[in-house]
Structure 1
């Protein structure tokens, strides 16, 4: 399917749709890249824009994004779902939005707001107000508060609030508005049989949606106006693709200038923010069915490379792409999408770990691979070091790679030393797991950055005090990892007990017919899922009450149900192993009860790691030695925390080497 000629500027490139301008309502986008309305929790508690969030958005505009959609913006105070969410709920929000609009316009970008109300997902603990919804159906994922059912008059008044918020945005200079009718928020709640049990006029799933469209268009008659749609809701008892399409067909589409295609709801978060297990452009086939409405389409969903973006645009799936995680990981992703193929731009890739969405409820949204975002401050570059500075980094895991890159960019001559045969450390092993297939992208990028910055990498080498004395560096960064938490239990002769990492390092890797995973952290989850996927019978025994408690819901939203539903996987939580014999293990349950369980094959330990004593590692070295990553961390041993540690250590060390 080709892109309709009426939607492409006559100056568009004949070969690259991504770079082509696009007429959308009354505005013209300079290209096809839109920063999606991803919630980031960066605003002031009163919903006002601030310098931190404005600078974040400006970075994306400077990188080339055509339209910056801020985020789901609450239209009334009782619809606020995040502590630091952007608001358009009263006139006090207008000055901050106007400053943002002026700043983005100065960078050549357009700016948009997505009008939203949380409905049953907005909890009193956040908004300070009672929550309301179409019907008194709690959203357990959001907190479980039972909302009060709105009266018909209240529904009409709330629809009018969307219009008032739209008028404020227009007064502030906002170019584009989008009505959020997706992701399980209020409008979507009226559409869904899960959350709308009404028998009055608003029992019709399209009634509230059309009222909102009418109110917004009346309040902002000339603004470019669109709507975000979840093409599937997700749960079995929710809206499927056919039913959603039928509802949208009855919407007042004649008052809209575009549709923005997304998917999912709170109860099906895997559709909103997709796992790395799902193919790039996963929503493309769904989007094609919306072409019949004749409106320009935006597309979201695993658009994680310039190639897939150009593909969906060239194939006529959509007129523009809505990018969230890829731009969050690196604004340069936009620059890469727009760059000449003969001169590619490197960008830090999203690895689809979903840490960003999983920490949305905890504070500012961070990023595993981009340690500069979500820190509650405008990022500051690592200080430039004095000429002649040299640094040895021991350890090529995520902490070491990050520290090395930051120090090299600051002007240091950097050498990485690692005893392994490849970079990445345990992250390289994680990249082989079923639930984290995109982890390799960070390591591939790190290799490219090492080459670009002239970082020497010496593999198969263990750094000694003598090596340091001979090299005489300005400083040493130790990022060689923590040590496995020791366990002491009786193990019968002939029984195999080893760490997960030791088993994964075996060459060749031979899969047993059965095994036991002793642990319940994210590593245990990943290895159990990996083995079960290959037909291995798995027994999981872990001390925690849930699997991978250190991971967010979406990071494990596919793996945990797979394990729980697999008939060849047994799970014993709040339990530990007291002894290992050939073919069986003694398990101590939560009440202290013990029983022997059949357990053929090896026992793989995933008991976490603990910091090492830094001063014991390079005795006699006079150069400054600092630790990074799990070697010194007391925080959970996650990739994000390791990268944060490497980044912070590099900035602190560089400040002493100026």
Structure 2
């Protein structure tokens, strides 16, 4: 066996898991409105159990319906009516020899009023979360004991339903974390002050669960041991002391993590964070406790996971997003198919979904796995292709996803790609600093084309005659997009004016120049960082009042922080009027700017000039990806997936 430690069993209290792979909790917004698991949610979790995961932890599961709502479509253990659904969920997971914990959760101050009928959020103290921006009120001592009972009652319901154990969410700035942190706990009663007093709420919950569920019912605690706030917050030395107290209270596992909403990029990391960046946190706890320790740290590759276990860094491998990206991650690792794992690229589409549209009960989405949340609708590929050929023009994510699905359906896809490698704009997108993970998706598709025997023609721009010679059943035009270059701007055709692809494809090399980047979307600021890293002085010009208007805030914070270190100049509310010998003319507070080069990052438009030609020549012609509508990776892969299943 290639990874003997990863696939060795382990006892967590009285329970044994078959391997060391843990799917950690992630909000998925798939529950019924009453908090019971929907068929969609059950299919979603069962798919990960079928994929080989040893232990699955459910999404944040509310214990209180009054102030404890974290999502509109959130799993609940707050009332007895959810028990039959939880039993069905447990049975579905147990069919595949996997175990399941329910994560008991209360958001405290990290929930907006809109989710709790416009009531004021509660917390340990009245310290406002800067991300939510709404002042909470401090719980009374009596109310704290009520919350303790809510957690205990929730654990009893989980056990009664057949759930294997529970995990207390004392991390990421939620209510239990708000009590243990000196940043958010300013109380003067028995639940505030010393480290032990701030931990009392967790210790009392553990005692209560032991009282109603018995001494052998597994209890885990997910705990932030460093909030990355410096001296103002919880730091690792005190986090270690908390873990020792919690172990002494009789829990069976510690799940070590970091951060709160104000330091969100240390909770759920954007693409720039390296694999294993915070493994030292789990190691620091494992060195002082005797119960199993689960660690989370952008773990992506089975080889890296195995090394963490062999080195004694931790006992269990905690991963959330990798199991969204590929529910077969564990089985593929077991079967030595590492190169076939569809790796999470840390793009944060999943959390962007949860944070921005969860109020509308939209399930979690994944850029690299468009089947996520559609497991019941698309259980297995139909084998109905009968060898019919489908020509796909364009080897970007939309075309390649369609080809992958069609090949699995026993069609014979034929891919034409005008460039020398598959991947389309994924290859360009991987060029800015710290974005190399995007290349993982291009590599995955390249491997899939090879494994599935897909016919690929590189360096080939398909013509109608080429395609006619193949006599295809259908044609998919997935030719991507081209940069917008406004012809109405004087000087836009000057030799020192470039597009984003010019920079990313290294058609031009800028060094020791003053460069103006026009447009501050994510593409604009990412190419700005690449230009700045090469030793240039960068100014970013944006016509809107807000920089990066199209970006998800975590990604924006990540890139902008590094751009600020390069002393980039930002000019929001400025419109490009002309490009001159001296630089650029602007409409705004600044009217002119000296620069040696101008890079246009004004977005893209669909490149579908070939579509009409093919539509006239063939009966079944479809558009996909940017050729159909300009969007992100998720849009492209989803269109390819749906189209591949529809043809």
Q: TM-score range by the shorter chain?
A: over 0.9
SS in 1 for 2:614: coil
Cα drift, residue 538 of structure 1:
0.8
SS in 1 for 2:254: strand
Cα drift, residue 382 of structure 1:
4.6
Cα drift, residue 613 of structure 1:
6.0
- 1:3 corresponding residue in structure 2: none
Task: Work out whether residues 585 and 598 of structure 1, in 8 Å CA contact, stay in contact via their aligned partners in 2.
Answer: yes
CA distance in 1, matches of 2:275, 2:637: 25
Task: Work out whether residues 184 and 265 of structure 1, in 8 Å CA contact, stay in contact via their aligned partners in 2.
Answer: yes
CA distance in 2, matches of 1:614, 1:332: 37
CA distance in 2, matches of 1:289, 1:550: 39
Q: Deviations over 1:564-594 (max 9, x none)?
A: 3432x111123221111134211223xxx56
Task: Work out whether residues 270 and 346 of structure 2, in 8 Å CA contact, stay in contact via their aligned partners in 1.
Answer: yes
SS in 2 for 1:137: coil
- 1:419 corresponding residue in structure 2: 418
Task: Work out whether residues 392 and 477 of structure 1, in 8 Å CA contact, stay in contact via their aligned partners in 2.
Answer: yes
Number of residue pairs aligned between Structure 1 and Structure 2: 632
- 1:648 corresponding residue in structure 2: 642
CA distance in 2, matches of 1:320, 1:614: 52
| Residue 95 of structure 1, aligned match among 81, 84, 93 | 84
- 2:329 corresponding residue in structure 1: 333
- 2:115 corresponding residue in structure 1: 126
CA distance in 2, matches of 1:471, 1:512: 51
Matched, 1:286 2:281: yes
Structure-to-structure mapping, 1:262-301, within 5 angstroms: 262-291=257-286, 292-301=288-297
Cα drift, residue 610 of structure 1:
4.1
Greater CA drift, 466-475 or 114-123: 466-475
- 1:224 corresponding residue in structure 2: 218
CA distance in 1, matches of 2:222, 2:190: 23
Matched, 1:544 2:539: no
CA distance in 1, matches of 2:388, 2:305: 41
Q: Deviations over 1:501-531 (max 9, x none)?
A: 1232234745452311111211112111222
Task: Work out whether residues 172 and 224 of structure 2, in 8 Å CA contact, stay in contact via their aligned partners in 1.
Answer: yes
Matched, 1:136 2:126: yes
Task: Work out whether residues 483 and 631 of structure 1, in 8 Å CA contact, stay in contact via their aligned partners in 2.
Answer: no
SS in 2 for 1:206: helix
- Gap change, CA 1:543 and 1:651, over 3 Å in 2: farther
Task: Work out whether residues 521 and 601 of structure 2, in 8 Å CA contact, stay in contact via their aligned partners in 1.
Answer: no
Q: Deviations over 1:514-563 (max 9, x none)?
A: 31111121111211122222322111112333333333222333112222
CA distance in 1, matches of 2:640, 2:511: 34
| Residue 317 of structure 1, aligned match among 307, 313, 317 | 313
| Residue 75 of structure 1, aligned match among 38, 63, 66 | 63
Task: Work out whether residues 564 and 571 of structure 1, in 8 Å CA contact, stay in contact via their aligned partners in 2.
Answer: no
- Gap change, CA 1:64 and 1:386, over 3 Å in 2: closer
Q: Deviations over 1:456-508 (max 9, x none)?
A: 22121111222222222111111101333341201178552221012322347
- Gap change, CA 1:603 and 1:60, over 3 Å in 2: closer
Q: Deviations over 1:110-157 (max 9, x none)?
A: 11111110100122311324421111222232x322222111111111
Greater CA drift, 493-502 or 158-167: 493-502
- 2:623 corresponding residue in structure 1: 627
| Residue 350 of structure 1, aligned match among 318, 340, 344 | 344
- 2:553 corresponding residue in structure 1: 553
SS in 1 for 2:109: helix
- 2:27 corresponding residue in structure 1: 39
CA distance in 1, matches of 2:506, 2:144: 62
CA distance in 1, matches of 2:379, 2:93: 21
CA distance in 2, matches of 1:531, 1:423: 25
Q: Deviations over 1:254-285 (max 9, x none)?
A: 31111111111111111111233222122221
CA distance in 2, matches of 1:514, 1:263: 39
SS in 2 for 1:179: strand
SS in 2 for 1:460: coil
Cα drift, residue 322 of structure 1:
1.5
Q: Deviations over 1:74-93 (max 9, x none)?
A: 11112111111111111111
CA distance in 1, matches of 2:258, 2:573: 35
Greater CA drift, 414-423 or 492-501: 492-501
- 1:145 corresponding residue in structure 2: 134
- 2:7 corresponding residue in structure 1: 19
- Gap change, CA 1:90 and 1:496, over 3 Å in 2: same
| Residue 97 of structure 2, aligned match among 95, 108, 115 | 108
Task: Work out whether residues 577 and 586 of structure 1, in 8 Å CA contact, stay in contact via their aligned partners in 2.
Answer: yes
- Gap change, CA 1:29 and 1:252, over 3 Å in 2: closer
SS in 1 for 2:354: coil
Structure-to-structure mapping, 1:381-420, within 5 angstroms: 381-420=380-419
Task: Work out whether residues 260 and 298 of structure 1, in 8 Å CA contact, stay in contact via their aligned partners in 2.
Answer: yes
Cα drift, residue 317 of structure 1:
1.2
- Gap change, CA 1:451 and 1:198, over 3 Å in 2: same
| Residue 38 of structure 2, aligned match among 45, 50, 54 | 50
Q: Deviations over 1:330-359 (max 9, x none)?
A: 1110112323x4x65722111111111121
Structure-to-structure mapping, 1:424-463, within 5 angstroms: 424-463=423-462
- 1:4 corresponding residue in structure 2: none
SS in 2 for 1:293: coil
Q: Deviations over 1:197-237 (max 9, x none)?
A: 22222223223222222222222222111111112112343
| Residue 195 of structure 1, aligned match among 163, 184, 205 | 184
Q: Deviations over 1:417-454 (max 9, x none)?
A: 11112211211011122242211111111111000111
Gaps of 5+ in 1: 1-12
- 2:470 corresponding residue in structure 1: 471
Cα drift, residue 312 of structure 1:
0.7
CA distance in 2, matches of 1:257, 1:285: 21
CA distance in 1, matches of 2:626, 2:384: 26
CA distance in 1, matches of 2:573, 2:15: 58
Q: Deviations over 1:150-188 (max 9, x none)?
A: 111111111111111111111111112111111000010
Report the aligned-residue RMSD. 2.2
Task: Work out whether residues 257 and 281 of structure 2, in 8 Å CA contact, stay in contact via their aligned partners in 1.
Answer: no
| Residue 185 of structure 1, aligned match among 168, 174, 186 | 174
CA distance in 1, matches of 2:471, 2:149: 70
CA distance in 1, matches of 2:420, 2:162: 55
CA distance in 2, matches of 1:277, 1:238: 24
Task: Work out whether residues 294 and 317 of structure 2, in 8 Å CA contact, stay in contact via their aligned partners in 1.
Answer: yes
- 1:6 corresponding residue in structure 2: none
Matched, 1:28 2:19: no
- 1:513 corresponding residue in structure 2: 513
Gaps of 5+ in 2: none
